[in-house]
Amino acid sequence: LAEMLCLSGLSVAFALALVPGPAEALREGDCEVCVNFLGKFYQSLKDNDVKFNSADIEKALTKSCGETKGKENRFCYYIGATSDAATKIINEVSKPLSYHVPVEKICEKLKKKDGQICELKYDKQLDLTTVDLKKLKVKDLKKILEEWGESCKGCAEKSDFIRKITELMPKYAPAAAKARTDL
């Protein structure tokens, strides 16, 4: 009898070990790009009266991802919502969104599927009103132009990039252009 009790106790312990524990909640700053992008996307679905079914959400997500750049485009690539993506876990987003699951929960699940999704972080934004362009690296100057969707054809020197940025600043960052005194 003691042997049977011992065995049943072991089987109960084993069964409990197989039951998944509570999902690891996201910490502040975790999945920054995922939470932010899906939050904006969910709001756009509501604003545009999109039907909350998986097919319509997937269509809207693919369209939305087609217009992304930078880290958000990388996020779209990871979930398979870009044309060049190798994997397709887009349904891991569309299905829960169709049930209005909070984006934080969706990102938690995506983190388990692919850890890279939650490693994406936005680049720190430069304050163009105060930053000394002469002290930035050429790489950072190129990044400013890239974010504006511009390039600097024929730029060879750092001063060429700075000239191009100051030239375009009123168009892309009018407040910063007005606040600057060195232009």
pLDDT at 174: 86
63: which residues sit within 8 A by CB, 6+ positions away? none
pLDDT at 16: 38
Cβ neighbours, 10 Å, residue 156: 8
- Note the pLDDT tens digit of each residue in 57-105: 999 999 999 998 889 999 999 999 998 988 889 999 999 999 999 999 9
Please give the share of the chain, as a percent, with pLDDT higher than 70: 84
Q: Rounded distance, CA 103 to CA 40, Å?
A: 10
- In degrees, to the nearest 5, what angle opens at C-alpha 108 toward C-alphas 107 and 113? 90
What domains sit in the chain, N to C, each tagged with a CATH number?
32-119 (1.10.225.10), 133-182 (no CATH)
Mean pLDDT of the chain: 84
Tokens of 161: 């990039």
- Note the pLDDT tens digit of each residue in 28-42: 778 899 999 999 999
77 and 84 in contact (C-beta within 8 Å)? yes
- Note the pLDDT tens digit of each residue in 83-95: 898 888 999 999 9
Cβ neighbours, 10 Å, residue 87: 11
> Looking at per-residue confidence, does 163 or 1 come out higher?
163
Task: Determine which helix (DSSP H) or strand (DSSP E) holds 164, and give its type and residue range.
Answer: helix 158-172
Q: Rounded distance, CA 63 to CA 164, Å?
A: 32
Q: Residue 168's Cα: distance from chain center in Å?
A: 27
How much of the chain is in helix, strand and coil states, percent to nearest 5? 60, 0, 40
- Note the pLDDT tens digit of each residue in 122-169: 887 788 888 899 999 999 999 889 888 899 999 999 999 999 999 999
